[in-house]
Structure 1
Amino acid sequence: MQMFCHECILHGHTRDPLHRIDMWNDSFFQPTTLKKLGLCVQLGHAPGDRCYNPHPSSSDDFVVIDVHGVHEIALDFCGCASAQIRYKQLLRTRWYPATTSDPRTAATFALMEHFHLLSFESKVSAYEFYHSLARQNNNAGLSVIKDRYSAFMRMVHEWRHLRQLQHAGRGNDPNGIHATTAGELAVQCPACPHPGKNIPQGWEDEPPWKYALFIAIDANFRLKRKAVSSDNVDPSLNSGWAYFIEEAAYKAYLAHQVGVKQDRSTCVSHNAINLADMKSSYGLAATGVGTVDCARHDMKLANGVGDLQKGEKYINMDYLVFSALLAFTFHLKVHIDECQRNFSFNWSKHVGQTDGEAPERGWSNINRVAMSTKEMGPGSRQDTLDDHFGDWNWKKITALGRTLLRKIRNTIKWKKEHEEGLAELERTIQPTLVLQWRKEVEAWEEDNSQPNLIPITQAAVHLQLAELEAHELQAGINVSLHTDISPSRLITAGIDLQDQQQHLKTDIANASLHPTDKQKTTMQTHITTLHRRLDAWACVQELYMPIVSQLHHRSSEAGTTNTAQLKPEVFNLWLPSELQPTVGCDDRLAAHKWDLQHAQALDALNKVRSHLRLWSHMYIYKDRNVRGQAASTRAQALIEGVEVRKCASVDKYRCARNALLALSHRLNRSGWDISLPPLLDSQVRPMGDMERQGTGTISWIWLDSHVDNSSSENERVQDSVRVEWCKARARANRWSEEVELLFEEMRRVIAFLRWQAEWWSERHSSRVPESPAEQEGLAAYACRQAALRLSLVASFQDLWKDVPMFVSAAMDIPLDSDSKDEPTIDTRPQLHS
């Protein structure tokens, strides 16, 4: 810190009138202002030059906001004959005026640029930012400065809009800003296909899937807006020029459709759709936003964003989709099996590894501004979100070099691995079968309305056994020893009782140490009910399996005589699988038991997979959307409930497999243990990237079967092999397609950036203003933008220069390597436009 006299302070701060000054008062340094010391800022002239006709700003103070605080200064505007209008004098000083009519407040360009970037990276609100600056002046509240928060908000709104216009080259257009067309301010994805910009002439004659545009739609119900202000009071400055659609036409369409009843989803119960009309919207002008995104590169599309009024209504989302002139795709993680089979990208040709979840990745970025935009007027909110979407797209573009490089490296690795896995599987299958299956699956790919492969279930086995017994009765063959309970029904009931015993064990293990009377009543009811069912079943069992009477007699000698004296959860049912091979038991009962247990094992495995999918979906949903202790506790309780059911399904699988193992020797069954191997705890895990089934180490439970065709297995196992072969083929094909798509996207990025550089170069002199200085500024900005695109081209080409080499050589490349010497792409001549 240096000490200066009064005169030197004023002289030294003619160019720095916003510095904060401390003055020694004989006891301590006391804050003061340059205005109190007598400094007056003169605009329109160099410091020290004389203005012959100064115009004071007013008798009131002029306020300037900069990075050091909120300052009251004395200000004189130039009043010379050649003087510019007041707001232009402020702009020449790099102070942004709060209004063009008699401005009394301004903010420095440095402050506006600082807040603009900070709002993107930290999502700080204008309210928090402004008041942190105000506290820098006096944190004790003793120095009163007029509140300029509203003026600051207005300046931020205008600043965002002007910067978007500048970045889109509207200042270089001779037709002016009002000639801006819908969506023109949006930052376009250079990797997507743009006819006339980055795809070759005659592309229509090539395979069309390489030039397809992949989009995804989604809704975000955290981006609400309260019913404050109005379009007249706070209009949008962008007015449909960026990502939000034009509001007037959108609202007119919705008003015209107000009487249309919301269609119900025919898939899984989708509350965002089916309950759209029932969702509370009290006090809200918008309950969220819907968006249309580039599905492969996670970028918002122009005119693909709009407010939602009640839920994720079809009329809203349809308008957004068609306003972007695109088709839409589905969320598949929460859809029913039929939707997943018919529409899953895993089985669809020519989609590569597109997952359709691009909007979800963008929400994590934009959700942080939800609270600050919730209180804004309609225009300010839309333009603020437009600006954030544009920044998100721009950051995606600048990262495309390394993003696409990382993807191509991983894709080559997985392409090679899955192709080798498919080849290894096909070596164990008869070639004629492979040809037959390939013909069938190709026919299904061309017309997926054809029947799909569905594994046999326990319910299907029940039906088969019932039909078999009905056929035997018609033929005069009746082996039933009970008028109401057939052999298959006896075994089915026994297996059901095993399940009930297991559930009771789980309930007892999870019971509270201090249960309530209601909990005690419920538990005792379960126990009593199971007692009665076990007694009734045991009586019928003795008809079909007389040996069990001896076994029960031995139990009575050990001190127990009936189920009432035993804990029902541990009562031994003596099913065929629990008897020694030397013990007499009807092989027909053992066969029924084997068929049912085999189907039960498959059913249990399906439930394990289902619970894992649900667990993963709920966990991700909780992590992304649930906030607050109460909501988190409820969500965690639901997840724990799914975990309990998953563990029960694992136990059921192991129990059924143990029964199969015991019966297989008696019935001389072989080969089944290949498709139903032991299930270890380490193998009970989600698929990795879940529905995509493409990356990560996948547990065998997601592969259905690893059996070959050389075993003496029945047709059902062969179907399992065919299902696995179809999955392996689909995975290999999708990764192979991904390589081609990534190559094409790399080429398109280079071509688009070159086209964009040429576009900026053409605007070097497209507009000729009256002032030579303005012309020079427009030309310099256009040249800088063109050079920036060419610099990105050079950077990306340097990163990608080795890609063609290691793709063609199918090199072994570690996944997600952070090495600075990683292969990079120039792709001569493939990626040059």
Structure 2
Amino acid sequence: MQNHPLKSWLDVREDFLTEDLRREGRMGFNSGLCSRCTGLLGIFRCKECEGGELLCQSCIVSAHNRNGLHAIECWNGLSFEFSTLKSLGLFFQLGHTIGATCPKPKAPTNDDFVLIHTNGIHEISVKFCGCFNAAEPYVQLLRYGWFPATTHHPQTAASLAVLKNFQIHSFESKCSALEYYQALSRLGDGIGTRPVRDRYRAFLVMVREYRHIKSLKRAGRGHDERGIDGTKRGECAVLCPACPQPGRNLPVDWKIRPANEQYLTRWLYRLFLAMDANFRLKRRDNKISDESDPSLGDGWAYFVETEPYMEHVQRFGDQAQAKSTCSSHSAVNNSRLTDGLAASGVGSVGCARHDCMRPSSIGDLQKGERYANMDYLFLLSLSQEELQELIDMVISYDIACQWWLNLLARMLNYSKSIQINQAKITSSTYLVPKFHLPAHVSRCQTQYSFNFHQHVGRTDGEAPERGWSHINPIATSTCEMGPGARIDTLNDHFGDSNWKKTYTMGSTLLRKIKTAVEQSTEHTLLFHQYDLGLRSDQNMKKNVVLWEKELIAWHQDSCKPNPFEIRVKKPTLDAVRRQLAEEDQKAQKEGKAYNLHPKFTPNELIAVGLELEEQQRRLHVDTKSLGLHPTDHQINKLLRDGSDLYQSINEWAEAQQRYIPSISNLRQDESQPKNTINESWEMPLFLPSSIPSSFPCSSSLQDIEWRLRSAQANTALDELRRGLRLRSYLYTDKDRFARGQHQNTRARGTIQRTDTKVTAAAAKYRAARTAIASLAKLYTQSTWQKDFPELKDSDVRSLQVEPAVGKEGRKKKISPAEGHRKVSWIWGVVGEDGTALKNKELTDDLRVEWCKSHARAKRWQEEVLLLQEEMRRVLMFLESEADNWQSRVGFEKDGLDDASKEGFSAYAAQQSALRQELKGHFEEMWKDVEEFVREKGYKKRKAKKALSLLTSIAEEEKI
């Protein structure tokens, strides 16, 4: 703290304390006379006005005609004590100057009026104007800047400032109305001795009404001849400016652009949608019905209209839906608890690239993500008139592999009001978000991957998850609300989120395109280098040409063979054991069996030996994992396991000695302490791979172990990959959902157990490889090192980014995601040199990695084009919106006075100018983007040309 700014402040903090205490007195105004009139006793001062001067009663009241809610103090000769302007005679005369007397007062002075203000809750005196042209009392309050709680004899109001203040605070801090109201109460009365009548329920009503009015105002409903009642479905929603909006931000000829044009291709006008559910946004069953608490704008913003939605759910919600043929997804199988809940969560359809909620696309869920619920939200979201022309879409959903299969058939059974063009369903692309994909079966991980499908850029489909992270903090408030209050509150938050996405779109897209251009250059060159390296081998060149054709065919028709899938299946340990058992059975039938033990055949002898070796490894891990103070239960379990293993090894060793008689000499050389029960995991098994060459061993047994060890290595790699995928999923799931010490402890325990399995799988592979290396010397196997590469610690890494932690909490280097990664050999290429070996397994692996490398380069190239198009769309959308608001300047409506007409025109002009300003701001931020893209593209083409030239020279020298 030697150079910290607080160091110098500590030297003068005594002065700060002195001055703060000085303010508790009269601060030098000790004459006793009023500072203004100097004729009367000055004993009053305002806590909020600057200066601290002392005034008399008359002057303090006249000085606060326009600040009637300031806090007043009175000097009692020893200290200042609380006072109010109301007690000094100040009242609010609405419709006239404050403090003036209305010639025709509408009512006597209301001394019980409660006003909620940013500086506290006040009881004030109010008089309403009663002149012949006086407006209604609630209108007088609104014109003064106070929002009335009722329209009939209003007794309570809130200033527009406090309503706006709460709205912004709730958006940013997610504070509840109760917390905010309690804070206002403390501002006016810090110790509870001067309580003001409770107006919390009135405050809730005013908050809802204020939010609703602001939503209508910003949607332009006041400037529409149809009026508020003419509001259509979703018209109060804030639209995403970067998504394709026909008539707003697409070129006039966008539908006839040639499909093969390089920079103006039709796929750039695809609509990217993301479907998801949030089970944190529950609503408890508090017995409040939709009739007693309706939404103020049902279906006008993001939530669908309640009545038709519930009719649809009641009619189709209970129909049976097929069980998942993929992983056991709880969303498909409806395994969510709903006891005591009116809504178990919400389903939504949003923008998959920009994280904006779509109009009329959110609805309550009653029992998991039933297809009936999600179908309705999806179809209604696309039934808007302006979207009818958009046919090509990309739909992201974490259970897309199951949901879309019978979507068209289900839609034809639904009401005509939500049915859409069938071409939209049949021509759309359905994919699974990148984070959710590892939880699917291997077939889905290639068939529904954003990484492998063309014309999707670097879209990850996880936009809803990022949006939920901002909305989840208000779940504790909304879960206790009535249905209408909850919908209105969530609509307001979704609208604010969409608007924030809009005005931050400039920096967001700029950051993305900088990354995309850099990554596009890097991965294009990496693929070009890899591709040229393969094509330099004449045998591999034919394969690459074939792979390229397969990739094109699959992109045109996904029913064709998937080039990203492994086709040459490596034998697993179970498969080899089954094959050996079938061989034993066949040999027995033919009378060729060579069994020296009634219980163990030669095949079973080696297979059981491998099982015993695996049990030793597990027992070793369990023993080492004991803490400093193990429990009796843990010790007893280890002793039992060790005893069982000891007996099993002795029984197996007896049979082994019949097949390998020389094994007895090896066992006698072993020290006795290792043959104790509690150290049975150290007992040597002497499988053929570990027997010294000087001891005779049957070649048939060595051959059996070679086959089993090879399968064991492949199985261990499968277990290692599964464990790494699961661990990556658990890390992200913990960050997203684990809250509190209990949940975090359980999550860490699960991750630790998974990490133990990963370590065990790696150990199994290394043990198998060591045995293979020993047996290879006997058979002079030359390719085993490339078939089974060495597994280093750095090779044991996931495809996903995971916050792995090393010793003492130090973070290790994390592996990059699919679009950035340099893959470990365990996920693709077998061997470190990448040369083309003449075996089917490696050729298959090389094909998959070539396709993935090609896909990485193409996705980044597409991302650059998509971002450029989105920038153009944003600017065009803002221009369209500015023109739309400008056309409303001078809006005429029956019954408007001159002041109202002026206000209508001023607001329209303001909104038009705001969008023009935002458009100009974005243009300034993006002015160098085209040059940046062009410069990087030139460097990329130059590097590719140089690389091709070097490759051709190397080939000529080789010839």
The two structures share one fold, judged by TM-score above 0.5: yes
Instruction: State the SS of the aligned residue for 1:214.
Output: strand
How many Å apart are 1:60 and its aligned residue?
A: 4.8
Q: Deviations over 1:401-423 (max 9, x none)?
A: 11111111212222222222222
Unaligned runs of 5+ in 2: 1-51, 260-265, 384-394, 399-435, 535-539, 803-815, 940-959
How many Å apart are 1:240 and its aligned residue?
A: 0.6
The one of 748, 751, 754 aligned to 2:879: 754
Counterpart position of 2:378: 321
Q: 1:321–1:328: 8 Å Cα contact kept in structure 2?
A: no
Going from structure 1 to structure 2, the CA distance change for 1:218 and 1:475 (only over 3 Å counts) comes to same
Question: Larger deviation: 637-646 or 63-72?
Answer: 637-646
Q: 1:688–1:697: 8 Å Cα contact kept in structure 2?
A: no
Going from structure 1 to structure 2, the CA distance change for 1:565 and 1:99 (only over 3 Å counts) comes to closer
Question: Larger deviation: 631-640 or 643-652?
Answer: 631-640
Q: 2:332–2:369: 8 Å Cα contact kept in structure 1?
A: yes
Counterpart position of 1:137: 188
* Cα separation, 2, equivalents of 1:544 and 1:785: 91
Counterpart position of 2:702: 590
Amino acid at match of 2:225: P
Going from structure 1 to structure 2, the CA distance change for 1:32 and 1:709 (only over 3 Å counts) comes to closer
Matched, 1:292 2:418: no
Going from structure 1 to structure 2, the CA distance change for 1:102 and 1:126 (only over 3 Å counts) comes to same
The percent identity for this pair of structures is 43
How many Å apart are 1:302 and its aligned residue?
A: 1.1
Matched, 1:427 2:535: no
Question: Larger deviation: 750-759 or 250-259?
Answer: 250-259
Instruction: State the SS of the aligned residue for 2:222.
Output: helix
Q: 2:365–2:373: 8 Å Cα contact kept in structure 1?
A: yes
Q: 2:114–2:157: 8 Å Cα contact kept in structure 1?
A: yes
Counterpart position of 1:798: 924
Instruction: State the SS of the aligned residue for 1:413.
Output: helix
Unaligned runs of 5+ in 1: 814-833
Question: Larger deviation: 123-132 or 632-641?
Answer: 632-641
Going from structure 1 to structure 2, the CA distance change for 1:472 and 1:750 (only over 3 Å counts) comes to farther
Amino acid at match of 2:234: G
The one of 498, 513, 517 aligned to 2:613: 498
Matched, 1:395 2:505: no
| 1:187-198 to 2 correspondences below 5 Å | 187-198=238-249
* Cα separation, 2, equivalents of 1:491 and 1:73: 94
- Tell me how large the CA RMSD over aligned residues is: 2.7
* Cα separation, 1, equivalents of 2:62 and 2:767: 91
Counterpart position of 1:508: 623
Instruction: State the SS of the aligned residue for 1:302.
Output: strand
Counterpart position of 1:533: 648
Instruction: State the SS of the aligned residue for 2:936.
Output: coil
Counterpart position of 1:685: 797
Question: Larger deviation: 8-17 or 329-338?
Answer: 329-338
How many Å apart are 1:786 and its aligned residue?
A: 1.6
* Cα separation, 1, equivalents of 2:504 and 2:630: 57
How many Å apart are 1:394 and its aligned residue?
A: 1.0
How many Å apart are 1:144 and its aligned residue?
A: 2.5
Counterpart position of 2:782: 670
Q: 1:535–1:563: 8 Å Cα contact kept in structure 2?
A: no
Q: 2:317–2:373: 8 Å Cα contact kept in structure 1?
A: no
Q: Deviations over 1:722-768 (max 9, x none)?
A: 22222222222222222222222222212212211122122223443
Counterpart position of 2:561: 450
* Cα separation, 2, equivalents of 1:742 and 1:543: 72
* Cα separation, 2, equivalents of 1:729 and 1:463: 39
* Cα separation, 2, equivalents of 1:479 and 1:714: 33
Q: Deviations over 1:617-637 (max 9, x none)?
A: 222222222223333322222
| 1:119-134 to 2 correspondences below 5 Å | 119-134=170-185
How many Å apart are 1:204 and its aligned residue?
A: 3.0
Matched, 1:87 2:142: no
* Cα separation, 1, equivalents of 2:637 and 2:108: 82
The one of 251, 266, 271 aligned to 2:330: 271
Going from structure 1 to structure 2, the CA distance change for 1:138 and 1:275 (only over 3 Å counts) comes to same
Q: Deviations over 1:372-416 (max 9, x none)?
A: 111211111101000101111111111111111111121222222
* Cα separation, 2, equivalents of 1:580 and 1:203: 76
How many Å apart are 1:436 and its aligned residue?
A: 1.6
Amino acid at match of 2:605: L
Going from structure 1 to structure 2, the CA distance change for 1:66 and 1:696 (only over 3 Å counts) comes to farther
Q: 2:283–2:343: 8 Å Cα contact kept in structure 1?
A: yes
Counterpart position of 2:33: none
Matched, 1:280 2:307: no
Instruction: State the SS of the aligned residue for 1:279.
Output: coil
Going from structure 1 to structure 2, the CA distance change for 1:485 and 1:797 (only over 3 Å counts) comes to farther
Going from structure 1 to structure 2, the CA distance change for 1:804 and 1:540 (only over 3 Å counts) comes to farther
Tell me the TM-score normalized by structure 1.
Answer: 0.91
Q: 1:689–1:696: 8 Å Cα contact kept in structure 2?
A: no
Q: 1:190–1:753: 8 Å Cα contact kept in structure 2?
A: yes
Q: 2:282–2:343: 8 Å Cα contact kept in structure 1?
A: yes
Question: Larger deviation: 422-431 or 682-691?
Answer: 682-691
Question: Larger deviation: 599-608 or 637-646?
Answer: 599-608
* Cα separation, 1, equivalents of 2:794 and 2:832: 21
Tell me the TM-score normalized by structure 2.
Answer: 0.79
The one of 76, 80, 99 aligned to 2:127: 76
Going from structure 1 to structure 2, the CA distance change for 1:559 and 1:91 (only over 3 Å counts) comes to closer
The one of 713, 737, 740 aligned to 1:628: 740
Going from structure 1 to structure 2, the CA distance change for 1:420 and 1:706 (only over 3 Å counts) comes to farther
Question: Larger deviation: 306-315 or 131-140?
Answer: 306-315
Amino acid at match of 2:312: Y
Instruction: State the SS of the aligned residue for 2:854.
Output: helix
* Cα separation, 2, equivalents of 1:234 and 1:631: 35
* Cα separation, 2, equivalents of 1:261 and 1:314: 10
Would you say how many aligned residue pairs link Structure 1 and Structure 2?
808
* Cα separation, 2, equivalents of 1:457 and 1:120: 57
Going from structure 1 to structure 2, the CA distance change for 1:549 and 1:292 (only over 3 Å counts) comes to same
How many Å apart are 1:3 and its aligned residue?
A: 0.9
Question: Larger deviation: 505-514 or 744-753?
Answer: 505-514
Going from structure 1 to structure 2, the CA distance change for 1:617 and 1:549 (only over 3 Å counts) comes to same
Instruction: State the SS of the aligned residue for 1:624.
Output: helix
Counterpart position of 1:367: 472
Question: Larger deviation: 715-724 or 389-398?
Answer: 715-724
Counterpart position of 2:408: none
Counterpart position of 1:810: 936
* Cα separation, 2, equivalents of 1:318 and 1:643: 39
The one of 231, 237, 240 aligned to 1:186: 237
Instruction: State the SS of the aligned residue for 2:271.
Output: coil
Amino acid at match of 2:654: C
| 1:329-340 to 2 correspondences below 5 Å | 329-330=397-398, 331-340=436-445
Instruction: State the SS of the aligned residue for 1:809.
Output: helix
| 1:719-758 to 2 correspondences below 5 Å | 719-758=844-883
The one of 798, 820, 823 aligned to 1:695: 820
Going from structure 1 to structure 2, the CA distance change for 1:791 and 1:338 (only over 3 Å counts) comes to same
* Cα separation, 2, equivalents of 1:628 and 1:707: 44
Counterpart position of 1:777: 903
Q: 1:345–1:354: 8 Å Cα contact kept in structure 2?
A: yes
The one of 439, 442, 446 aligned to 2:549: 439
Q: 1:352–1:736: 8 Å Cα contact kept in structure 2?
A: yes
Counterpart position of 1:816: none
Matched, 1:385 2:490: yes
